Structure 1
Amino acid sequence: MDIVYIHDLRIDTIIGVYDWERQIKQTLSFNLEMATDIRQAAATDDLQYTINYKAVSDRLIEFVETTQPQLLETLAENIANIIISEFHVPWLRLQVSKAGAVRAARDVGLIIERGKKYGLPE
C-alpha cells in the first residue's frame, strides 16, 4: 500500500454549534492520507494512474467553503464520502483540527479512517 497525503490544508468556513460561531469564519486544518498503488503511475510517469492531490485539495476547498455544518463529525464524514466516491480511494485517514475552540488547547479535532486499508493488490 502506498499513501498520497495532504498535510495542513487550511480552509476558512462557518462551523460550530454556538450562535457566535455561526457569525464568523474559522480556519480548519486538514491532514489527509489516501491509500493507492503508485506503481503504474511511476512506470508510466502519468498522473491519471495516481491520486491527483491538487484535484483533491481543490474539491475539499470548494466543499468546505460552501457547506456550513455544526459539527466537525458531520464535515469529516461528508469529506470521507467525497474522497472515496469521487476519487476512487479504497482507504483514507482524515484529521480535522479546529484551532482556538478550547481556550487552553492549541487545537481540537478528530481523526477518522474509512475504507479498507489493505484492500489493494500486492
Structure 2
Amino acid sequence: MSASDLDWVHIEGLQIDTVIGVYEWEQQQTQRLLIDLAMAWDIQAAAQKDDIEQALDYAKVTEAVTAWVQQKPRQLIETVAEGIAQLVLQQFGVREVEVKVSKPGAVPSAANVAVSISRRQFDSPFG
C-alpha cells in the first residue's frame, strides 16, 4: 500500500480533563483538552469481514490516550501531542498519526490554542 492509498481512522473532539499548564494555579486544578486524531490504517480487511479484530479499535485507542494524558501533570500541550503520537504508533501499530491538542481558554483573547503534529512509524524523537 503506497502513502497515497492510506485509509484514515479519525477520533475527533476527545475531551480529557487533566492537570496541564506552566503556571502554579494550573497545577492545582484540571483543565479540559480536546484531542483530534487521524490514524493511517488499512480498513479493507475489517470492512470485507465486518470484523472488529481486523479494525483499528478506536474505543481502545481512546481509552489508552485518555489514561496516558491523565497519568501525570504536564506543562505543555506540545508534550501531550508528542506523547500521544508515540503511544498510538507503538501500541496500535498505525503507519502514521496526526494529533491535534487544543487547550480552549489558554489565552483569554483567543477562542482556542492548539498544536498539531504528524508522525510516521519510522520517525524517532531521538533522531
Please give the TM-score of this superposition, normalised by the length of structure 2.
0.88
Q: For residue 98 of structure 2, give the secondary structure of its aligned residue in structure 1.
A: strand
Distance 1:101 1:43 in 2: 44
Aligned residue in 2 for 1:4: 9
Distance 2:72 2:84 in 1: 11
Shift of 1:4: 0.5
* Larger strand percent: 1
Please tell me the root mean square deviation across aligned C-alpha atoms, in Å: 0.9
Q: For residue 103 of structure 2, give the secondary structure of its aligned residue in structure 1.
A: strand
Picking from 19, 23, 43, the partner of 1:14 is 19
Shift of 1:35: 0.4
Q: For residue 99 of structure 1, give the secondary structure of its aligned residue in structure 2.
A: coil
Distance 1:109 1:42 in 2: 33
Question: C-alpha offsets along residues 67-91 of structure 1, whole Å, 9 cap, x if unaligned?
Answer: 2111111111111110000000110
Q: Percent identity?
A: 41
Aligned residue in 1 for 2:55: 50
Aligned residue in 1 for 2:90: 85
Bigger relative CO (Cα 8 Å, ≥ 6 apart): 1
Aligned residue pairs, count: 116
Equivalent positions of 1:1-122 (< 5 A) are: 1-115=6-120
Shift of 1:62: 1.1
Distance 1:37 1:89 in 2: 9
Distance 1:6 1:104 in 2: 28
Q: For residue 101 of structure 2, give the secondary structure of its aligned residue in structure 1.
A: strand
Distance 2:65 2:73 in 1: 13
Q: Flag as ranges the 4+ runs of structure 1 deviating above 6 A.
A: none
Unaligned segments of structure 2, at least 5 residues: 1-5, 122-127
Shift of 1:102: 0.3
Q: Which amino acid aligns with 1:28?
A: L
Distance 2:89 2:53 in 1: 16
Unaligned segments of structure 1, at least 5 residues: 117-122
